[in-house]
Every structure is written in structure tokens, then in C-alpha cells.
Amino acid sequence: MVILRGCLAPSCSLGEPAGRGNPFGRALNALAIVAALTLLAMVVMVSADIVLRNLTRTGFPWANEVSEYALYVMTLLTAPWLLRRGQHVRIDLVLVLVPARVAWLMEALADGLGFAVCLVMMRYGIKMTVDSAVLGSITIKNLVFPEWWMLWPLPVCFALLAIEFLCRFNRLMHSPRGRRTEATSVG
């Protein structure tokens, strides 16, 4: 609940560094750091694989597979952080063409819809993860492991995204009735 209290504080703005006094923002920053370290590890692994294949005609047969999993995990780890910073994918061309109050309303609707979609995705992510664990499903490629190991980050990520959409909505409700400017790329 401390995380939600910090997130839902009207004074918490997108421009404020998330690490100062905001546990939710600090958690998202930590996930982004883990994603960056995962990317670094992936670059080192792929580079080593290329060097080994060119020098010794052998490499890491599992490198491509691990890279695929790393890209998936990095995407999930950074999505809530990017949403928090207003750097997620958004189409803001329409928002600069409509009156400010209409843009504000569209932002509120988008946050509400994003929250609802994240809850649905979280629910199905939980179901898939639990079903996979109960059935004992395994992934068989170069590496063999239980399938739910790759599924569990999905509901966690969508739970964090849902919380952030709720935070965005709360911040929007406590802001002037105008456009958000934190990530507007046109206008």
C-alpha cells in the first residue's frame, strides 16, 4: 500500500525524479536497470559467441535462444518504466489538433482503457502461468525448462502497468484541464 500511496499522491508529477521518496518509481527504476544489465549481458554473450564461432568453429548453441528470451524479458521490465516517463508508444498527432480540454479528456479515456486492458492481460497471464505450472509444460529447444518460468513475468508486468495507468489517471485528475506535454513529439 505504501507503493500505491506514493504513486497516487497528486503532487507526484512525471517530471519529478521517481527515485525521490516514491517507492513505486524506485521499483520501476530498478526494473529498468535490470533490463539494461540484461542487455549488456546479451551483447557480451552474442559478441563472445561470434568470436568463438570465427576462431574455433564452435560457439554457444544456446545464444540465439537466450537472446530471444532476454528481449522478451527486457521489454516486460521496461514497459512500466517507459509509461511512467511518458516515453511509451503513443500517437499524439491528434492530441495537438484538438482543443486542450478535449485532449485532456482523450488522455483520461486512454488511461482508463489502458488500465482495463492491463487488468485483462494480467488475468490471462496469471491463468496461462498457473495452467502451465499445473500441467508441467516444458519448453524444449536448446535449453529445456518449465514453460511457466517464461510466463510469470507477463502478469507481473501488466500489474505494474495497470498501477502506472492508475497513477497517470490520478495525476491527470489533479492537473490543469489541458494537454499532457511530457511526451508530445509534434506541435
* 40 assigned to some structural domain: yes
* 182 assigned to some structural domain: no
* 72 assigned to some structural domain: yes
The one-letter amino acid code at 25 reads: G
The number of domains in the chain is 1
* 184 assigned to some structural domain: no
Q: What range does the domain containing 103 cover?
A: 2-173
DSSP 8-state class, residue 146: E
* 179 assigned to some structural domain: no
* 68 assigned to some structural domain: yes
pLDDT, tens digit (0-9, with 9 covering 90-100), for 79-130: 999 999 888 877 778 888 889 899 899 999 999 999 999 999 999 999 999 9
Residue 116 grid coordinates: 482495463
* 54 assigned to some structural domain: yes
pLDDT, tens digit (0-9, with 9 covering 90-100), for 21-64: 689 999 999 999 999 999 999 999 999 999 999 999 899 999 99
Could you tell me the pTM of the whole model? 0.84
Q: 177 Cβ partners below 8 Å, 6+ apart? A: 100, 101, 104
* 71 assigned to some structural domain: yes
